[in-house]
A = this chain, B = another copy of it.
Amino acid sequence: MTRIAIADDHPLITNSIENILNHTGYYTVCGTYESGESLLAGLPEVMPEVLILDYHLPDQNGAQLARSIAYYYPGIKILVLTGFDKPGLLSEMLESGCSGYLLKTSAKTDVLLEALQTICKGGIYIDKSLKEIFAENLHRTHAAQIKEEGLRLTKRELEILGLIVNELSSQEIADRLFISKKTVDNHRSSIIMKTGAKNNFALMKIAIDLKLI
């Protein structure tokens, strides 16, 4: 019997999961919690193998909570449940030490058990419906890319932008590339004009978008 704890502030969800798990014969629910605080207080006693964690608990940030638990109880595997996916949440939770990521809309019996099985074997389980979400985003970014083609930066401009955001002054860039500071300034102006950047910080954001950093 694998011991599972559940943290969710909706008793209906907690009950539903508890029912599903108890009917398997493989899993036993050893604790249910409605807040981050009660969860942290209860964990040392029950020490489950897996924690099913709602991302949106009322009192604590889900990622921070997961980080704390993953840090202090490295043996506990965390399956995150979230009502809706937002960009970056998946990677944030994975990097916070979670082993699984499920949307509540897909958390039906078979999916939940499949996820738990994968996690218990030491694997990482990711909700399949994320593939569709990513695919939609692909179409969005593809459209944005085409739009950007118009005001594309030249090779030299990209090179100089890379140096700018690496904290070099125009003079330093000039020395490194064996060109005059004036030329660097001109390139800089072109970059600013093409990108519509207001100042250095806007440039930095663009560089981040272009993955120069």
| Interface residue ranges, A against B (CB under 8 Å) | 67, 70-71, 74, 88, 90-91, 94-97, 99, 122-124, 126-128, 130-131, 134-135, 137-139, 141-142, 164-167, 169, 198-202, 204
Measured CB to CB, the closest approach of chain B to A17, in angstroms, equals 21
User: Are B199 and A95 in touch, CB under 8 angstroms?
Assistant: no
Residues of B within 8 A of A166 (CB): 201
* Contact between chains at A202 and B135 (CB < 8 Å): no
**Contact status A126-B128, CB under 8 Å:** no
Q: Cβ of B94 and Cβ of A90 under 8 Å apart?
A: yes
Kindly list chain B residues whose C-beta atoms are within 8 Å of the C-beta of A200. 199-201, 204
| 9 pairs from A and B in contact (CB 8 Å cutoff) | A88-B91, A90-B91, A96-B138, A99-B131, A122-B131, A124-B126, A124-B128, A166-B201, A167-B198
Known contacts A95-B137, A97-B134, A134-B95, A67 near B128 by CB under 8 Å: no
Q: What B residues does A202 contact at CB under 8 A? A: 167
Of chain B, the residue at the smallest CB distance from A130 is B124
The CA of A142 and the CA of B71, in the complex, are separated in Å by 8
Q: Which one of B67, B124, B127, B201 lies within 8 Å of A164 (CB-CB)?
A: B201
Minimum CB–CB distance for A112 against chain B, Å? 14
Given contacts A94-B90, A124-B130, A165-B201, contact A142 B99 (CB under 8 A): no
* Shortest beta-carbon contacts, A-B, top 3: A91-B91, A124-B126, A200-B200
Q: How far does the alpha carbon of A51 sit from the alpha carbon of B62 in the complex, in Å? A: 35
Which of A94, A141, A164, A198 has its CB near the most chain B CB atoms (within 10 A)? A94
**Chain B residues, CB < 8 A from A169:** 199
Q: Which residues on B sit within 8 Å (CB–CB) of A74? A: 135
